[in-house]
Structure 1
Amino acid sequence: MSSLAGSGGGLLSKLAKLDAYPKLNEDFSTKTMSGGVITIASSVVMLLLFISEVRIFTALQTTHELVVDTSRGETITINVDVTFPRMPCAWLSLDTMDISGDLHLDVDHDVYKQRLDAKGNPIREAQKHDVHSTKHTAPPVNPNVTCASCYGAEEVAGQCCNTCDEVRAAYRKKGWALTTVDHIEQCKHDEYMDSIKEQVGEGCKIWGRLEVNKVAGNFHFAPGRSYQQGNMHVHDVAPFGDAKMDFSHTINSLSFGTSYPGMRNPLDNVKAKQPQRGDDVTGMFQYFLKVVPTSYTTLTSSKPLSTNQFSVTENFREGQGGPGRMLPGVFFFYDLSPIKVQIVEKKSSFMHFLTSVCAIVGGVFTISGILDAGVYQGERLVKKKMQLGKFS
């Protein structure tokens, strides 16, 4: 029994020799004022570093990765909100085209117009703008109306133009400019012409979304109804005569897809003013956009959000008004990048947080111990020299 106790005591004594933290008797330890100051300072430093590490641990972090975009056959949602303080809603046409020049007549549009007075206040309730309504390739003839004249623009003998739009279409096919419609019987009760005259001096706010193919293209705000004539996309500006067109505008927002946390759109709240250097000066505002496909994956969802970022450069082309001159308006030309950005949310692991906290405590404790030892030895050396009278 005694041998067992002896062997147990020997084992414990050997274990005590492995102690890397030897204890000092309180009789041999000395507390100093400088040590107290260093202790307080090191505690404050440790607390600040700990709070910083907690903030890093609780904050969301994102990683960015560039990959080749392999998606095909998709569409892009364009969310647009633009205000024109000096262009009436009836004068404006919104169109989308892809790189081949074809109009996007078969895609889903959801765009609204809000008439504004000269001070920018809404006049009436917002109305839905049908993009298709501004484009006519072959307007139907009303069989209940007697065959009306095309006013010299007939292609074949006996051709009928029973509506104001049919007269305009006949003139366009001839390449003639229909500068006035006062003498045309079909246009005397045309709602489009009435709205043009009624809304003179007003402004317009247009907002909504456009679904377009995922290819390079453009969408634009321009005056007059737009038509597809052969392979050409044209706008009928004859109803406006010599009226001055000021396309000064404010882009309240513009995005290509759904927004994600931290997303920035460079054209939000951008204002552009047309130079005022003459009554016949007009111009084309051009925005060249580079759209970058982007996917964003949150911590709570395994399915990434597909959206787009974009960069922009802008230009203003000044021109003169009148027939045959440059078409004024606001044009957005966009091109797709072949590189896709993948953004993934992540948080630091608890083990990483624990490792950082231990490093903070150990590092600050070690540095403060070295500093305290240096200050203490310095104080002893000064006191010793003062006792020997060698310190002056």
Structure 2
Amino acid sequence: MSNAKPRLMSIDAFAKTVEDARIRTTSGGIITLICVLIVLVLIRNEYNDYTTIISRPELVVDRDINKPLDINLDISFWNMPCDILSLDIMDETGDVQLDILRAGFKKFRITKDANGNPDDEILDEESVPVNSDVSIEILAKGLKEGENGECGSCYGALPQDKKQYCCNDCETVKLAYAEAGWGFFDGENIQQCEKEGYVKRLKERVAAKEGCRIMGTTRINRISGSMDFAPGASVNSKGRHVHDLSLYNKEGTSFNFDHVINSLTFGEVPKGAEGSESTHSLDRFGMKVNNRDHVFSYYLKVVATRFEFLSESKKSLDTNQFSVITHNRPLKGGKDEDHKNTVHARGGFPGVIFHFDISPLKIINKEQYAKTWSGFVLGVISSIAGVLMVGTLLDKSVYAAEQAIKSKKDL
């Protein structure tokens, strides 16, 4: 045992000095106090880092690509009455959802203030929810042979020699005209529309230069495609997607697609999650060119995003983020007024088009503490050791300077 003690003493890295050999100075006391204060500040900062919750993103392949995608939309058109506005969705599979304003969305008439400017805060109390989407075969369902009942005229837009089709209301006649590729205009001289007051109501709204605000949610497949707002009833004819522009063209400069996007999100909107602001990149974004023959395009890159929280009381949230590129051009084409070297294509139809591209990847944002417990302890020890080492060097330098000054005075 006696031999073990000298061996342990020989490897002692913390050799002690004799108490009588230590010299205490006033400058050393001041430096010690400064070091203690600095150590306390650093320990507090380490603790703040340890308790801070951050979100770390991780990129993975999206395994939920087959799940439908919700689009939450709130958009205002300042110079477009609700009666002639339609919304269609087309994807790369060739599927077309015609006039989906008939399902999941609501239209609200926007009035004008005393100066003739649109005022989104003043909405007509008579909101205009649109009926569920149905095909022309159901709307214009005819009478079976020998069956008695009302069978309104389709004015030649559909065959009625055997009453196989019946147009008993204005909406059915309007859709029949679209199927036939005829201009419906404002429905004047069509008995069903005159009787329902559609013609009078439409003329009043056009004269008042009303706008339209559309709010709601629709669900689409996670396939790249487009969503377009355009005037008049829409129909697919001979492989082409067309709109009835008869009334839009008739009214001259009364209509245009100047607009503001109040809100556009995909999926559930995260609240209070870090990075959630990236899901609102088009909120309150608008375009105003005051040109009726103009098309506005938005190219969206949608990426699925999942938020995972530390708190057990919060459930994981699946949503979507998107980036966007905007573009607009006149239908007549030609050189861009601002960029003379840019030449726009010619053709198309007026409206607002959202082109969306769905990414096959997914971002997972996991909440976690900025530091682990071991990282916190290591940071505290490093802070203390570093400050004491610097303090020791500073104390030795100050002491050496004091001794040099003292020796000169003694001389």
The residue correspondences of 1:201-216 to structure 2 (distance < 5 A) are 201-216=209-224
Correspondence for 1:362: 385
Mapped contact 1:136–1:227 kept (Cα < 8 A): no
Does the C-alpha gap of structure 1 residues 335 and 131 become closer, same or farther in structure 2, counting only changes over 3 Å?
A: farther
State whether structure 2 residue 72 is matched by structure 1 residue 50.
Answer: no
Q: In the superposition, relative to structure 1, how do residues 64 and 146 fare at CA in structure 2: closer, same or farther (>3 Å)? A: closer
Mark the CA change 1:111 to 1:51 in structure 2 (over 3 Å): closer, same or farther.
farther
Write the mapping of 1:134-145 to structure 2, written as runs, cut at 5 A.
136=136, 139-141=139-141, 144-145=149-150
Please give the secondary structure, in 2, of the residue aligned with 1:86.
coil
- Counterpart in the other structure of 2:205: 199
The 3-state SS of whatever aligns with 1:269 is: coil
Give the aligned partner of residue 251 of structure 2.
242
Alpha-carbon shift at residue 311 of structure 1 (Å): 0.8
Q: Secondary structure at the match of 2:96?
A: coil
The match for 2:60 among 58, 64, 67 is 67
Displacement of 1:30: 1.9
Matched residues in 2 for 1:166 and 1:285: separation? 30
Matched, 1:330 2:324: no
Task: Give the total of aligned pairs.
Answer: 373
1:292 to 2:303 alignment: yes
Aligned partner (choices 333, 336, 339) of residue 361 of structure 2: 339
Structure 1 residue 359: Cα displacement: 1.1
Equivalent positions of 1:3-42 (< 5 A) are 18=12, 20=14, 22=16, 24-25=18-19, 28-33=22-27, 35-42=28-35
**Structure 1 residues not aligned, in runs of 5+:** 1-6
Name which one, 1 or 2, has greater alpha-carbon Rg. 1
Q: 1:223 offset after TM fit, Å?
A: 2.1
- What is the distance in 2 between the residues matched to 1:28 and 1:308? 67
Q: Please, which of 61, 76, 85 is the counterpart of residue 78 of structure 2?
A: 85
Q: Does 1:185 align with 2:191?
A: yes
TM-score (ref. length: structure 2):
0.77
Q: Is the 8 A contact 1:42 1:365 kept in 2?
A: yes
Describe the shift of the 1:242–1:19 C-alpha distance in structure 2 as closer, same or farther (beyond 3 A).
Answer: closer
Instruction: Map residues 120-269 of structure 1 onto 2, 5 A cutoff.
Output: 120=119, 121-125=121-125, 127=127, 129-130=129-130, 132-133=132-133, 136=136, 139-141=139-141, 144-145=149-150, 148=153, 150=155, 153=157, 161-179=167-185, 181-200=187-206, 201-229=209-237, 231-240=239-248, 241-243=250-252, 244-260=254-270, 261-262=273-274, 263=276, 264-269=278-283
Segment drifting more, 228-237 vs 131-140: 131-140
* Separation (CA, whole Å) in 2 of partners of 1:25 and 1:94: 89
Shift of 1:32: 2.1
Offset of 1:253 from its aligned partner?
1.8
2:279 match: secondary structure:
coil
- Report the CA distance between 1:315 and its aligned residue: 0.4
Residue of structure 2 in register with 1:308 after alignment? 320
1:51/1:182 CA distance change after superposition, 3 Å: same
TM-superposition CA deviations, 1:292-325 (whole Å, max 9, x none): 12222111359743221111101002126xxx96
Letter in 1 for 2:124: R
Deviations 1:126-183 (Å, cap 9, x if unpaired)?
7364474497566325763355361x55657577655444544554454443445323
One-letter code aligned to 2:229: F
Flag the 1:53–1:137 CA change in 2: closer, same or farther, 3 A. Answer: farther
Name the CA shift for 1:125/1:43 in 2 (closer, same or farther; >3 Å): farther
Which residue does the alignment assign to 2:116? none
Q: Percent identity?
A: 31
With normalisation by structure 1, the TM-score equals 0.81
